[in-house]
Amino acid sequence: MALELVTIPCLTDNFAFLLHDADSGETALIDAPEAAPVLATLEARGWGLSQILLTHHHDDHIQAVPELVAATGAKVLGAAADQHRLPPLARALHEGDRIQIGAEQGEVIAVDGHTIGHIAFYFPISGLAFTADSLMAAGCGRLFEGSPAQMWHSLSKLMRLPPQTLICSGHDYLDGNLRFARALEPDNPALISRIEALAGMRREGRLPMPSTLAEELATNPFLRAALPQMKAAAGLPGAGEVQVFSEIRARKDRF
């Protein structure tokens, strides 16, 4: 049975995610931007919290950990490579490690780029990938610590997941990301449809994510750096994908 996913808006544009296994009653939280909405959601559903899975060390992803641990006794898991910048860990994780929630195992994927030591979590039975600030909805995170080559390598790993995988990213930057994507590919029909769909979701007050990997592959410019049309849009028709990605990321930084 697939895990139940609950998306929790936090702060101004962050997301936290709860994963719940009905049979065992186990619940895990992915990232901890803000305690109050997480605790309110747990109370409303009558769930405890067994694990907190951290993607990277930035404050808007970890600052609620002490309050949540004090309230729930949850164990904290995060990257061994980032351990010196994270709250105290019950378990330090490496790429390829497995995480158990009820009957399902999740896989740890190293996704350096936004930061060094950033990790993602992939749950194949439930078809969920928690990518935080690596692969984002219609975008990717700024390269605060890693290189374009590192980020492209990380995104390439995520691009190999099944296309129906739901991408649960850490922020709602979708409006600006789609405007930038449209500036590069104004005639991309999938992109036009996504922009129209987003407008409807905003009017109705619906959360516009998670998205599918298939949708990201069709509309996210940072996943399209190897395509001839994106190379042409970047003015680099004969370049390699890392160079094209680097150019697109630099343009987004200035957009």
State yes or no: 114 annotated in a binding site.
Answer: yes
- Give the per-residue pLDDT at 209: 85
Give me the residue label for tokens 């890693």.
Answer: 146
The reply, when asked if residue 56 is annotated as ligand binding, is: yes
pLDDT at 240: 96
Q: Which band of pLDDT confidence, cut at 50, 70 and 90, is reported for residue 48?
A: very high
The answer to the question of whether 153 is labelled as a binding residue is no
Average pLDDT score over residue span 234-245: 96
* Cα–Cα distance, 133 to 18 (Å, whole number): 17
- Residue 171 pLDDT: 96
**Alpha carbon distance 205, 56 (integer Å):** 29
Gap between the Cα atoms of 223 and 238, Å rounded: 17
**How far is residue 152's CA from residue 99's CA, in Å, rounded to a whole number?**
25
Categorize the per-residue pLDDT at 191 as very low, low, confident or very high, splitting at 50, 70 and 90: very high
Q: Which residues contact 187 (CB under 8 A, 6 or more apart)?
A: none
The answer on whether 84 is annotated among ligand-binding residues is no
What pLDDT, on the 0 to 100 scale, is given for residue 8?
97
Looking at residue 115, its pLDDT comes to 97
CA 185 to CA 194: how far, in whole Å? 13
Residue 110's pLDDT band (cuts 50, 70, 90): very high
**Res 202 pLDDT > 80:** yes
Domain ranges of the chain: 4-254
Task: Give, in words, the CATH class of 4-254.
Answer: alpha beta
Q: Which two tokens stand for residue 208?
A: 């516009």
The partner residues of 19 in beta bridges, in order of sequence, read 5, 28
CA 157 from chain centre, in angstroms, equals: 13
What mean pLDDT value characterizes the chain?
97
133 is in an annotated binding site: yes
Average pLDDT over residues 15-40: 97
Among candidate residues 39, 36, 31, the one with its CA nearest the CA of residue 14: 31
What span, in angstroms and rounded, lies between the C-alpha atoms of 219 and 225? 11
pLDDT-derived band at 208 (thresholds 50, 70, 90) equals: confident
| Residue 105 to residue 101: CA distance in whole angstroms | 6
